[in-house]
Amino acid sequence: MAYLAIMKSAARLAAALILLAGCGPALAAPDDFQSWLKGVWPDAQKIGVSRRGFDAATAGLRPDLGLPDLAQATQGKPNKAQAEFLRPAGAYLDEGALSGLAANGARLSVRWADTLKKIESSYGVPGNILLAIFGRETDFGAEHPKHSVIQVIATEAFAGRRKEYFREQLIWALKMVDDKDVAPADFKGSWAGAFGLTQFMPTGFRDYAVDFDGDGKKDVWNSVPDALATSAVELSKAVDRDGTPVGWKPGMRWGYEVRKPAKGLDCTAAGFDRPKALGDWLKAGFARAHGKPIPTARLADKSYLLLPEGSAGPAFLVTDNFLALKAYNYADLYALFVGHLADRIAGEGPFETPWAEATHLTEAAIFEQQKRLVGLGYDVGKVDGKIGWKMRIALGEFEKSHNLPVNCYPSEADAKVLGRQAAKLP
């Protein structure tokens, strides 16, 4: 017991440091931007950016402090910008949107059949997965983000939460302009700095871009073959946030929707740090949805239980290829959207189990629950107002230890007990 108390105290201390770090400094004044920008030049020069190119790309550049995620930066508040982290699962995986994208994707799978086959032969990534990314990112090219990539990335490097990351992106974006990969006027992208038909960051373009249509250009803005092949390269070479290779494995699905056991579901068994073979999950009472079998040849595949709404809603057994999709975009719901849309493009149907919409708590309320869980010694991952897998496990463990219904999903009942427990802390 003494050891446990020491560990809990250490965890609370670490939590306090994390929360203090999350608050961060106030945004730098725009007047400081030009001085800061001058300091970028030596690093840009080191990778071969010319002085003329640097000056041309940065002439008249000003920060855009109105970007969606900067308003909360001074207060350590959760980021209100990314739908895949903030919208309920059922709203994010909207059936109307999915069915429309699936129909368009199926048509494109015929139009680009030869190209998709060649890409899969070259990089091992199936065409329906690539089309699903294409559909999710830009509605198959129908969306045309209008933000200046240079301005967005420079703003984030100057005033955002991940300054070092975006500083590197800025340097390589300048290299792209200097190398004439893209003209400054055409260098448009999302508010987060991603660009192209299937959305890349500058270092992604550096590492993965290919000229698949053979016209002498790596054109991820206008060439569907180049964009899809570049996405395939990125998936095939994917690494997770710890630098562990998680590249796409040919012949393996992203995962399977499953029916939960009739009795004895332990939602704290879900998570990407507790894998089991697919066959072992089946022995524990899970079964593939829609009455379909999991191929015998795949039963030894490592897999992870994913419960986006905790004990409620649909359940999934996802494979290492799901981790490759998460490397493309870390959100669980993004990877689930892409995997499911890929299945729909290939002719499969909707989810068998409906979404429960298990919480009506605000993002601020979830943020508060995270802070209290961390203060009590639980690992929730980032304290950011987002219901990630680590938070779900932490809640389940908290619920177990306080005789609450074990749902692994935030609720008003959890909030009340968490408040009482947090009030007891010294």
pLDDT, tens digit, 9 for 90 and up, residues 312-356:
999 999 999 999 999 999 999 999 999 999 999 999 999 999 999
**Confidence bin at 410 (pLDDT 50/70/90):** very high
Q: Which residues pair with 147 in a beta bridge?
A: 189
Q: Higher model confidence: residue 71 or residue 16? A: 71
255, 314, 316, 336, 346 from 129: Cα distances, Å: 12, 21, 17, 11, 9
Query: Which is it for strands 147-148 and 188-189: parallel, antiparallel or unpaired?
Result: antiparallel
Spatial contact of 152 and 193, defined as CB atoms under 8 Å apart: yes
Query: Closest by alpha carbon to 312, among 393, 408, 391?
Result: 408
Q: What is the pLDDT at residue 386?
A: 87
- Amino acid (1-letter code) at residue 22: G
Query: Closest by alpha carbon to 156, among 65, 271, 83?
Result: 65
Q: Choose the most confident range, by mean pLDDT, from 61-75, 130-144, 350-364.
A: 130-144
Query: Closest by alpha carbon to 118, among 229, 237, 236?
Result: 229
Spatial contact of 349 and 362, defined as CB atoms under 8 Å apart: no
Q: What is the average pLDDT score of the chain?
A: 90
For residues 251-279, give the mean pLDDT: 97
Q: Is 343 left (phi over 0), alpha (psi -120 to 50) or beta?
A: alpha
For residues 64-68, give the mean pLDDT: 91
Q: Which residues pair with 257 in a beta bridge?
A: 316
Tokens of 370: 């995270």
Determine phi and psi for 362, rounding to 5 degrees.
Answer: -75, 165
Q: Is the dihedral of CA 160, 62, 151, 239 positive or negative?
A: negative
Among the ranges given (189-203, 302-316, 358-372), the one the predictor scored with the smallest mean pLDDT: 358-372
Beta-carbon-side half-sphere exposure of residue 198 (alpha carbons within 13 Å): 28
Tokens of 199: 């959305």
Spatial contact of 137 and 164, defined as CB atoms under 8 Å apart: no
User: What distance in Å separates the CA atoms of residue 284 and residue 317, rounded to the nearest whole number?
Assistant: 12
78, 115, 239, 296, 412 from 360: Cα distances, Å: 17, 45, 34, 40, 9
pTM of the model: 0.89
**Confidence bin at 426 (pLDDT 50/70/90):** confident
146, 209, 220, 231 from 198: Cα distances, Å: 15, 11, 8, 7
**Confidence bin at 14 (pLDDT 50/70/90):** very low
Q: What percent of the chain has pLDDT over 90?
A: 81
Helices marked H in 160-198 — which ranges? 163-178
Is the pLDDT assigned to residue 45 strictly greater than 60?
yes
In the chain, how long is the greatest CA-to-CA distance? 68
Determine phi and psi for 313, rounding to 5 degrees.
Answer: 70, -175
Is the pLDDT assigned to residue 362 strictly greater than 90?
no
Q: Which residues pair with 394 in a beta bridge?
A: none
User: What distance in Å separates the CA atoms of residue 101 and residue 303, rounded to the nearest whole number?
Assistant: 27
- Amino acid (1-letter code) at residue 135: G
**Confidence bin at 88 (pLDDT 50/70/90):** confident
Q: What percent of the chain has pLDDT over 70?
A: 88
69, 253, 314, 319, 389 from 256: Cα distances, Å: 33, 8, 11, 9, 18
Q: What is the pLDDT at residue 86?
A: 55
**Confidence bin at 16 (pLDDT 50/70/90):** very low
User: What distance in Å separates the CA atoms of residue 170 and residue 185, rounded to the nearest whole number?
Assistant: 16
Among the ranges given (9-13, 97-101, 120-124, 131-135), the one the predictor scored with the smallest mean pLDDT: 9-13
Q: What is the pLDDT at residue 70?
A: 83
User: What distance in Å separates the CA atoms of residue 402 and residue 417, rounded to the nearest whole number?
Assistant: 8
**Confidence bin at 106 (pLDDT 50/70/90):** very high
Q: What is the pLDDT at residue 26?
A: 46
For residues 105-119, give the mean pLDDT: 98
3-state secondary structure of 306: strand
- Per DSSP, 276 falls in state E
3, 160, 235, 328, 393 from 232: Cα distances, Å: 48, 30, 5, 10, 32
Q: What is the pLDDT at residue 47?
A: 98
Is the pLDDT assigned to residue 277 strictly greater than 80?
yes
Q: Is the dihedral of CA 378, 384, 387, 388 positive or negative?
A: negative
For residues 34-47, give the mean pLDDT: 97
- CB within 8 A of 235, min separation 6: which ones? 123, 125, 129, 247, 248, 324, 325, 327, 328
Among the ranges given (2-16, 58-72, 99-113), the one the predictor scored with the smallest mean pLDDT: 2-16
Tell me the pLDDT tens digit for each residue of 186-208.
999 999 999 999 999 999 999 99
Tokens of 297: 């040849």
Q: In what order do the strands lie in the sheet with 302-306?
A: 276-277, 302-306, 315-319, 255-259, 287-288
